[in-house]
Structure 1
Amino acid sequence: MSYFDKVSDSVEAPSFRNRSMLRASIPVICTLVYPGFVDIFHISVGEPGSSLSLGAGLIAGFMLVLMFSVPLIGFAFAVRGVGGSPSLAFETRARRLAYAVVVGPTMYCLVGVLQILASSPIPDQVIWVVLWCLGLLWLWATPDGHSNNVAPARPIPWLRVAHGVSAAVVLIYIAFHLANHLFALLGQEAHTTVMNMGRTVYRSPIGETILVAAMLFQVVSGLILAWRWSSHKLDFYKTFQVASGFFLSIFILGHMNAVFVLARMYFGIPTDWDFATGAPNGLIHDWWSARLIPHYALAILLLIGHSFSGLRVVMLAHGTSESLANRVWWVGQLGGACLSTTIMLAMCGFRI
Structure 2
Amino acid sequence: MLTATPAARNLVEDSSVSVLLEWLWLLPFAAALYYPWALSWSNQTHLAGAGTWVTVGLLLTAYAVPTIALICVYVTGMQPAISARLVLARRLACLAVATPPAFTLLGVLLYLMKINGHDIAVWTGLWLALTAYFTMYSSTKPVVSFPTSDSVYRRLRVAHGISSLATMLVFLAPHLFNHLFGVFGFDVHRNIMDVLRVVYRNAVLEPIIIVAFFFQILSGLVLIRPKTISRADLFDALQTASGAYLTLFIASHINSVFTLARYFGTETDYKWAVGDPVGLVADAWSIRLVPHYSLAVFFLIVHLACGLRVVLRSHGVRPAAYSVATWGVIMLSALVTAIITAGMLGARI
Calculate the TM-score normalised by the size of structure 1. Answer: 0.87
**Residue of structure 2 in register with 1:280 after alignment:** 277
2:168 is the alignment partner of 1:171: yes
Deviation at 1:152, TM superposition (A): 5.1
Distance 2:330 2:78 in 1: 28
Q: Distance in 2 between matches of 1:197 and 1:83?
A: 46
Superposed, 1:98-247 pairs within 5 Å as 98-121=93-116, 123-142=118-137, 144=139, 148-151=143-146, 154=150, 156-172=153-169, 173-247=171-245
1:127-170 deviation per Cα after TM superposition (whole angstroms, max 9, x unaligned) = 21122123212321235576725325856111100001111121
1:178-219: CA deviations, max 9, x gaps? 111122222101111111111111112101111111111111
Task: Write the distance in 1 (CA, Å) between the matches of 2:141 and 2:31.
Answer: 30
Q: Which residue of 2 aligns with 1:3?
A: none
What is the Cα deviation at residue 71 of structure 1?
Answer: 0.6
Gaps of 5+ in 2: 1-15
Q: What is the percent sequence identity of the aligned residues?
A: 33
What is the deviation of 1:233? 3.4
The separation in 2 between residues aligned to 1:324 and 1:62, in whole angstroms, is 37
Query: Are the equivalent residues in 2 in contact too, given 1:20–1:83 (CA < 8 A)?
Result: no
Deviations 1:44-92 (A, max 9, x none): 111xxx7x44xx3232121122111111100111111299999922211
Cα separation, partners in 2 of 1:322 and 1:18, compared to 1, 3 Å: closer
Q: 1:143 to 1:181 in 2, by over 3 A?
A: closer
Distance 2:333 2:79 in 1: 35
Residues 20 and 85, structure 1, Cα contact 8 Å, conserved in 2? no
Match of 2:260 among 259, 262, 276: 262
Q: Counterparts of 2:219 and 2:147 in 1: how far apart (Å)?
A: 18
Q: Structure 1 residues 206, 235: closer, same or farther in 2, change over 3 A?
A: same
RMSD across aligned C-alpha pairs, in angstroms?
2.5
Distance in structure 2 (CA, Å) of the matches to 1:192 and 1:345: 17
Q: 1:232 aligns to what SS in structure 2?
A: coil
Provide the rounded CA distance (Å) in 2 between the counterparts of 1:349 and 1:235.
37
Q: Which amino acid aligns with 2:211?
A: A
CA–CA distance in structure 2, aligned partners of residues 152 and 264 of structure 1:
44
Please give the alpha-carbon distance, in whole angstroms, between the structure 1 residues aligned to 2:227 and 2:22.
Answer: 22
8 A contact 2:87–2:229 mirrored in 1 = yes
Aligned residues: 331
Specify whether residues 157 and 123 from structure 1 end up closer, same or farther in structure 2 by C-alpha distance, changes over 3 A only. same
CA gap of 1:26–1:310, structure 2 versus 1, over 3 A, is: same
Quote the offset at 1:227 in angstroms. 3.1
**Hey, what's the Cα distance between the residues in 1 that align with 2:107 and 2:172?**
24
Within 1, Cα distance between the matches of 2:207 and 2:164?
Answer: 15
Partners of 1:20 and 1:307 in 2: how far apart?
29
Q: Does 1:95 align with 2:96?
A: no
Cα offset for 1:302? 0.8
Q: Is the 8 A contact 1:308 1:329 kept in 2?
A: yes
- Check if 1:320 corresponds to 2:334: no
Distance 1:298 1:251 in 2: 10
In the alignment, structure 1 segments of 5+ residues that lack a partner are: 1-14
Residue of structure 1 equivalent to 2:8: none
Report if aligned partners of 1:163, 1:218 keep a CA contact under 8 Å in 2: yes
For 2:68 and 2:344, locate their aligned partners in 1 and report how far apart those are by CA, in whole Å.
26
Q: Deviations over 1:279-315 (max 9, x none)?
A: 2211121111111111111111111111111111111
Query: Could you tell me whether the CA contact under 8 Å between 1:312 and 1:325 is conserved in 2?
Result: yes
TM-score, structure 2 normalization:
0.88
